[in-house]
Structure 1
Amino acid sequence: MSDTIKQRIINIIAEQALMDPSDLHDDMTPAELGIDSLGLVETIFAIEEEFDIQIPFNANEPEKSDFDISTLGTIVAAAEKLVAENAA
């Protein structure tokens, strides 16, 4: 992999948000990025496809899921964990 997992996720989210990847920061929420619920679903599908992982269906409920989608940083951390588990 030439890009890090984080950079690949940032690129996916930046494309969805129609922003330059360098403008994204870990503490930004999907709403701050201009990503609505449909855009978030599309982003999740793109991340799943990019890394061949399965994101829990209840990711939009942080209290019920290990996959937290509340900020860019938590999305990256959760995806990195799933990628590592998938590789093991």
Structure 2
Amino acid sequence: MDTYDRMVRILADEHKLAVEALQPDARLDELGIDSLSVMELLFKIEEEFDIKVPNDQVPLITIRDMVSYVDKLIAQQAGAMPHQAAT
């Protein structure tokens, strides 16, 4: 499951949204997700993706923005500490 699919699942579960409405260019505010909800969502993202979201203010307008941001954090943090299973 890729980042987009996982993000859609989180949004659908947490905000009771129809999966069909969760297209990449869907605006979060138009989905009823306000700035407080985005902050709460970032906590869920940290848990789901096992990453640390910095306190930096990043403009997250669409689902695509969120997916890109999470992918960037995953790449940055994987470089610092690879997530590999022990052998």
**Aligned position for 1:65:** none
Letter in 2 for 1:21: V
Larger RCO (CA under 8 A, 6+ residues apart): 2
Would the aligned equivalents of 2:51 and 2:77 in 1 still touch at CA under 8 Å? yes
Would the aligned equivalents of 2:46 and 2:52 in 1 still touch at CA under 8 Å? yes
Give every structure 1 segment of 4 or more consecutive aligned residues whose post-TM-superposition deviation is greater than 6 Å. Answer: none
Structure 2 matches for 1:58-73, cutoff 5 A?
A: 58-59=56-57, 62=58, 68-73=59-64
Q: Which runs of 5+ in 2 are unaligned?
A: 80-87
Give the drift of 1:37. Answer: 2.5
2-side partners of 1:56 and 1:70: how far apart?
A: 17
Would the aligned equivalents of 1:16 and 1:35 in 2 still touch at CA under 8 Å? no
% identical equivalent positions: 35
TM-score, reference length from structure 1: 0.76
Give RMSD over aligned pairs. Answer: 1.5
**Aligned position for 2:83:** none
Structure 2 matches for 1:8-47, cutoff 5 A?
A: 8-47=6-45
Give the drift of 1:56. Answer: 2.2
| Count of residues in correspondence between the two structures | 79
**Aligned position for 1:75:** 66
TM-score, reference length from structure 2: 0.77
